[in-house]
Amino acid sequence: MTYKFGTYGGTHVLHVDECGPAITSELDGRELLERAIQEDAQWIAIPASRLGDAFFTLSSGLAGAIVQRLQNHGCGLAVLGDVERHAAASTSFGALLAESNRTGGRGNLLFAADAADLRRRLQARGA
């Protein structure tokens, strides 16, 4: 995988490149976490287009497993891009999206329109 790095409001972010294979398993999530730890990143930003459909189907458990593993290591996950089709297709994912938006990304999962939106939100956190 190809990565870029950014620091916003004191928060170091590992950006996953938009091109590449889909992230479809817990192993993929573990590999991202290992890279984040190596780079001392507090957040991982992944384009929504890189996440397989199972991530957005909460009953699959994939999103929960990846987010929990990251949280256990003090790392947050930012999903960048349009996820509305997934929210429209799943009441549970729609609720997760609404909760994330309601809290403004104060937890360890947030959905942002793009990298600029992520930067704004992390800077607003004062991290």
Host domain of residue 14: 3-125
Q: What's the number of domains the chain is made of?
A: 1
The structure tokens listed for 34 are 């290992």
Judge if pTM exceeds 0.95. no
Helix (H, G, I), strand (E, B) or coil at 111: strand
Residue 104 confidence (pLDDT) above 70: no
Q: What is the sign of the dihedral through the CA atoms of 5, 7, 12 and 18? A: negative
Q: Please, what is the angle between helix 62-72 and helix 26-38, to 10°? A: 20
Average model confidence (pLDDT) across the chain: 90
pLDDT in tens, 14-23: 999 999 889 9
Q: How many residues does the chain have?
A: 127
- Among residues of the chain, what percentage have pLDDT more than 90? 72
Residue 110 confidence (pLDDT) above 70: yes
For residue 51, what is the domain's CATH number?
A: 3.30.750
